[in-house]
Every structure is written in structure tokens, then in C-alpha cells.
Amino acid sequence: MPNTRNHSGKNTRTKPWVRARRIMLAVAFLAFVVPCMILVGLKVFSERNLEGHIASIRAEGYPAALEELPPWQERILPSPEGEGEADATAAQLYLQAFETLDRANDPHPLDNLRDILTQLGQEGTLPAEKLQEIEKELAANTEALALLHQGAGLPSGKYQPEYAKGWDMVLPHVPGTRRAFLLLRAEAVDATFKQEPERACTALLAAMALLRPLQQEPLLASQGARTACIELMLDILGNALKRLTFTEEHLARLQGAFQFIPVREALSNALVTERVLGIQAYAYPPLLATGDEDWRGGDDAAPLLEVSSSLGVFVPDRKRYFGGMEELIAGIRLPYPDARKIFDRVAERIDPRYRRRLETATGQPRRNRHHHHAPLPSFSKILVRYNPLPLQAAQNEAYLGQCAAAIALERYRVAQGTLPEQLDLLAPAYLAVPPVDPFDFQPLRYLIKDQGYILYSVGLNGVDDGGVPGENPGLGDLVFQVQR
């Protein structure tokens, strides 16, 4: 009888245990392998997204890694004339002076001087015992003073920040500059009250020369120290001009000291450095919490941030950060009104509460709103912290313009025996071009008052308040007054 069994296998039935095994394998594949593939895909996507931002930055000629910052700084900061031939630079001597001040006054260098000069700014004069304290402090720091005066006659040189440390970078020259500037201000005050115009002039010149190495250093801390020192100089210069009779030679030397490069370019470069630190944060996710002061993740949140970054959660935040930073780097170079619009637009896009904070800062009533903390930080919120920079730059330009105009007015007074009716009369003999108010592009305001004068800018609110300062930075004018 012929064999009619079908050997083709088409009708062979799969055994139940084989079917069950296949189902289990399929479930295991879907439950474990597919998610792993998705996670790997997301990680690759996240890494390539960051690499794309980095490539775009480098294509524009900017640094994108910590090791690229030192050669970039060398490109953007050309060596001053004569620096190559000099045996030493001012920066080198200043570092020695900073160390000397630390040794002499540890742990709180020159705090007493700071309090005395604050009192002088508030009251306009000092009692004899305070002047004696200044003299005592100066005598205790003669070595540092000698180094500072010696450095004023040398090429400026540069400091060498340890960029490789990234967020852990230490900048000892920044607080050192502030302390040394305080010491030189005190020397100028001492010379002023003792009626020693040559010594006062030399101290003022040394104080301004101290800021030269910071002039273009691409770090926000350095630019903040520089602009703060220039603001503090206003009171000391005004005090000297109203109490001393400077010669034409003194005044010509002083006028040259206030011809600084505008701070806007330096702030733009400082934001480039900040962006490199931002790249480091996105590459090492535990640093991302540094950008969002409202996030409360705690020190044990590092694994959460690592996983979230690998899953591409921060890709939208990166887009906001790098896009906003590109706008800020270009925008800070613009005149104040244009820069202000760009920074406000970026801040409002990043943080909806920015407008309410601005209203509070300018004296407007604050509206109570409830805010819920986000489950993950937004590093792009760090861009809101840069919002004071346009105001900082404009104020710096206004202060320098006021100082230069005041010295030109004194030169005119020495030559003519009286003050000019208008600032236009200073040009070109005493001032190449009359200063312009950076806030509204009008000529710097000038009022003759009694035995002196007032120079003022309309300030942040853009309103001419007649030379009356406000209670906070958002109100009133920026005023420089010399009253003999």
C-alpha cells in the first residue's frame, strides 16, 4: 500500500510548547531589547544634537571646549605695544601686590578702609580720626603700594585664568584688583585732604592703570570688577576736583587715563566663555542644575540628570540655550536700547516671570503669583542672569564720559578762569568730542551750579530728571557733581 503521508511539512502542526517559547521570546524582545534599542537611539540622537551645536559654534570661529579658550584668548587679546621687550609687565607686579596685601591683612584685607571710603561717599567729608586711620593703613601697605605704582608705568600684560578647571576656575586677580583699587583710592583721598595734588594725581593714575589687564579679559567676573571700580572712582575723582587745584599737566595726564575701550566687546567675549561652560554642563549633566535657581533637586539628583540627558530630555532646553546665547553674544555689542530689547526678549522667552521681576526692580508693584517647581532643571534659565549686562555696559560708558568731561571742564577752567556755558565749547582743544549719553544718544547733560557743575545721564528710565539721582537703578539720573 503506497505511503500517503505528506512530507512537505506544510500541514505539520507546531507543538504547543514550541509556540509558547516563541511567544515568550517575542515578549522578551519587546520588553527588553526594543526599549534598549530605543534608549541607545535616544542617546545617540542626544549626543549628535550636542555635537551639531558644537560644530556650528566652531564653524563661526569661536571656542567650544575648555582647552580651546587659552589660544582663543591669545587671538582676541593682542599684546600691548612694548610688552615683548619689557622685562616685566604690570600684571606680574600686580599679582605680587595682591599676595602682599593678603599676607598683610589676612583674613579680611582692608575692610576698615572700605568702611571709611563709604562714609566719605555718603557724607562728603571725614573727621580727623578717620583720616588718621587711612594714613595708618597706607603705612602698613607701603610694599604693595610701591608695586602698584611701579606697575602703572609698565605694559599692562595679561592674567592667565585656569580655563581647564571650568566651573571650578579660581580667579584670585579679581578680588585682588578690587582690594588694590581700594588701597589706591585711599591714597588719593589721603593726598587730597593733605592738599598734595601731585600725589593725588599719581594715585588716581595708578588706580586706573590697575584696570588695564582686565580691560578685555573674556570673563564676566573680570568685567564686573572693572566696571565696579570705575563707578567707585567717581566719588574719589569728584572729591579731588573740588578740594585740589590741579595744573594743566595733571589734568591732561588724568584725562588720558579715562580713555578706555568700551566694555561691550569685552562682555561679548565673556559670554563666549560662558557658552563654553554651558557646553561643559550639557556634556556633564549634574552641572545642569547650576542654571536653574528655582530647581530643588538636591545633591542626590545626579543619576536622574544623567539618565534624563541620555534620553534626550534636555534637547529642547539646549536649543533655547544655544539660540538665546547666540542672540546675546551679538546683541551686547549694540547700543544700549537695541541691546536692551534683545536681552529682554530672550529673558521673557526663557522665563515668563522675568517681566514681573523687572517690574519689581524698577519700583513697580509686584503681583503675587504661585510658581510650581519643575521636575527637572532648565539650564537655559541661566541666560536670564545675564540680563543686567546691557545696563552695566551703558552705565560704564556714562561714568567714563562723565569723568572725561569733568577733567576737560577743569582744564577749561584753568585756562580760561571760568566754566564754559556748554560742553560743545570744550571741543576740540580740551575734549575731542563731547560725550554722548549712551541711554538716549543725546549730549551728556551739563548744568552750572553755584561754584561747581553737574554732569548727568538720564539713566535706565530714559527720563531727564534734571540731574536728580533716584532711589534705585531704575529711577532718576546718573549724576556726577563737583561743588567747590
Concatenated DSSP letters of 6-20: --SSTTPPPPHHHHH
Nearest to 438 by CA among 338, 329, 345, 347: 338
Which pLDDT score, from 0 to 100, does residue 87 have?
A: 73
For range 205-223, the mean pLDDT: 94
Question: What pLDDT band is residue 410 in, cutting at 50, 70 and 90?
Answer: very high
Which pLDDT score, from 0 to 100, does residue 366 have?
A: 47
Percent of the chain whose predicted confidence (pLDDT) is above 90 = 59
DSSP state of 328: H
Q: What distances in angstroms separate CA 347 from CA 264, 279, 351, 382, 383, one per listed residue? A: 19, 19, 6, 9, 7
List the domain boundaries for the chain. Answer: 74-245
What confidence tens digit (pLDDT) does each residue in 79-122 have? 665 555 557 899 999 999 999 998 765 666 688 899 999 999 88
Query: pTM of the prediction?
Result: 0.86
Tell the burial category of 253 from Cβ atoms under 10 Å away from its Cβ (0-12, 13-18, 19+): middle
CA atoms of 484 and 471, how far apart (whole Å)? 25
Lowest mean pLDDT among 192-196, 230-234, 306-310, 335-339: 306-310
pLDDT of 5 > 60? The answer is no
pLDDT of 261 > 70? The answer is yes
Nearest to 337 by CA among 443, 434, 459, 218: 459
What confidence tens digit (pLDDT) does each residue in 281-332 have? 988 888 888 877 777 666 677 888 887 777 777 888 888 999 999 999 999 9
Which pLDDT score, from 0 to 100, does residue 157 have?
A: 92
CA atoms of 431 and 35, how far apart (whole Å)? 72
Which pLDDT score, from 0 to 100, does residue 133 have?
A: 95
Cell of 480: 556726577
CA atoms of 218 and 70, how far apart (whole Å)? 10
pLDDT of 371 > 60? The answer is no
For range 231-243, the mean pLDDT: 92
Which pLDDT score, from 0 to 100, does residue 14 have?
A: 59
Residue 249: HSE in the Cβ half-sphere, 13 Å Cα cutoff: 3
293: enclosing H helix or E strand: none
pLDDT of 365 > 50? The answer is no
